Amino acid sequence: MLLIFDCDGVLVDSEVLSCQVDADLLTSLGMPYTADEIARQFVGVSLKDMIARIAAEHGRPLPADFGERINRTLFARFETDLRPIPGVRDAILALPHRRCVASSSTPDRIALSLRVTGLSDLFDHLFSSVQVPRGKPAPDLFLHAAKQMGFAPADCLVIEDSIAGVQAARAAGMKVIGFTGGGHCGPQHGERLREAGASLVVEQMSDLPSAVQIQA
């Protein structure tokens, strides 16, 4: 079995930082959003797709360098404030299965996130939405990861914190465990993940090994 980990909100507690940076920059452009609104609408969605949806919603394009501005600001915050999800290293080391990361983030953001939080040594294989035509909730990224790793979709188990990610995994024909231990997850988030297709939901990483055993 192959374990496919999302990065943001599963391995690293980045979504709160990311949503606040997105909201601040959009508001400064006259497109007011709160961090909570960004979290509800765009967690799990690639930056490229978020920009396209916001531009369509407001009827005008964002500045050409908006993505660069987001990344420049966010990467600086990551260097000082990003932390791993509590217990994630021990949970991963307790799991004997092959594993990889498949994230909506860009390759440089994934690499930075794992480096800053001391998790880089746990993953030899990193896959990004920039490598496929469609991001989550389309199944492309997870199918690409499975193919590259040599596993059939039915032999993959995805760990996801976002509705879009759960939908993508289910569309790929994979089992999904939802995770609600990130700082951005509210009290109803677990139920939303179940409604999206997660077969199990765990609130803390210490529960992940037993949840994986149930799904194996």
Burial 9-23 (b: 16+ CB within 10 A, else e): bbbbbbbbbbbbbbb
8 catalytically annotated? yes
Tell me which residue has tokens 């509800």.
40
Report the distance separating Cα 143 and Cα 14, nearest Å.
24
In which element (H, E) is residue 179 found? strand 175-179
Q: Is 90 a catalytic residue?
A: no
Catalytic residue among 8, 13, 22, 161: 8
The contacts of residue 26 (CB under 8 Å, 6+ apart) are 32, 33, 38, 54
Contacts of 44 by beta carbon, 8 Å cutoff, 6+ apart: 6, 104, 136, 137, 160, 161, 162, 163, 164, 165
What is the separation of C-alpha 83 from the centre of its chain, rounded to a whole number of angstroms? 15
Please give the positions annotated as active site: 6, 8
